[in-house]
Amino acid sequence: MDTNRKTFLIALSIFVIPFLAALLLHKTGLYTSVGTTNRGELISPPAAFDAIELSDQNKEPITPDSLKKKWWMVYVMPNTCNEACENSLYQIRQIHAALGPEQNRVATMLIATHPLDAKYQTLIEQEFPHLRVAYTEDAELESWFSETNNQPLQTRQTGYIYLVDTMGAVFMYYPTYEDEQESILKGRDMLKDLQKVLKLSKIG
C-alpha cells in the first residue's frame, strides 16, 4: 500500500468511524439498552438540540455548530429557582467532575427563559465557572418536544436535566429533586448512564 493511500485511509477512519458509531446508537437502539436500567427516561423520538434558538448572555445567537462534537448535560431552569433547581446545578457539576479523564468530552449548560437575578449570576460565576448559560423563549421550549411521545415533556420542559449526544440528539431526561440526598443518589444514576453512552461511542 503506497504512503498516500495509507494516509488517506487513516484520515478517513478518524472522521468516519466515530460518526458511524454515533449513528449506530440511534439506528440499532443502543440508547434503549441504557434506558432499560430505569435511570433516565428515554425521549422517543429524540429531539434536536438545534431545534430551539439559543442566545448567550450578550444576546448573541449561539450557533448549532458551536454545540457539536460534545456531549451535553443541559438543565432547563424554571422561572423560580427552588431547592430542586439549586440541587441540579450542584448535581451536574459533581457528575462532570466524576467523569475524570472523560470530562473533556462533556459540557454543561443552563437554559433559562428569563434573565438570571443577581444572586444566581453571582452563584454561577463563583461556583460553576464552566457552566454555559443560554437563553431562549417559552414558545421555543413548548415546541421543542412537540413530536416526541413523552407526555410529560409536552406539558412541561423546565426543571429537567437532559442528555444530548454529539450529533445534537436530546435523547434522555431526568427529573430533579428538592431533597439534597435524593438528588445526590439520582445523580449517581445519571453518572452511570452517561458513562455507559460515552463507552458505547467514542465520538466527542
119-167 pLDDT per residue, tens: 889 999 999 999 999 999 999 999 999 999 999 999 999 999 999 999 9
Segment 54-73 shows an average pLDDT of 93
What pLDDT shows up at residue 68?
A: 85
CB count within 10 Å of CB 170 equals 23
pLDDT digits (tens, 9 = 90+) for 66-87: 898 899 999 999 998 889 999 9
The percent of residues in the chain predicted with pLDDT above 90, rounded, is: 68
Q: Are 111 and 134 in contact (CB under 8 A)?
A: yes
Q: pTM for the full model?
A: 0.82
Cα-flanking dihedrals φ and ψ of residue 164, to 5°?
Answer: -125, 135
Quote the CA–CA distance of 115 and 119 in Å, as a whole number.
11
Question: DSSP readout, 102-118?
Answer: GGGGEEEEEEESSPPPH
Angstrom CA distances, 20 to 10, 14, 82, stand at 15, 11, 41
pLDDT digits (tens, 9 = 90+) for 86-127: 999 999 999 999 999 999 999 999 999 999 989 889 999 999
Please report the domains of the chain, with CATH numbers, ordered by start residue.
3-200 (3.40.30.10)
**What is the Cα gyration radius of the chain?**
18
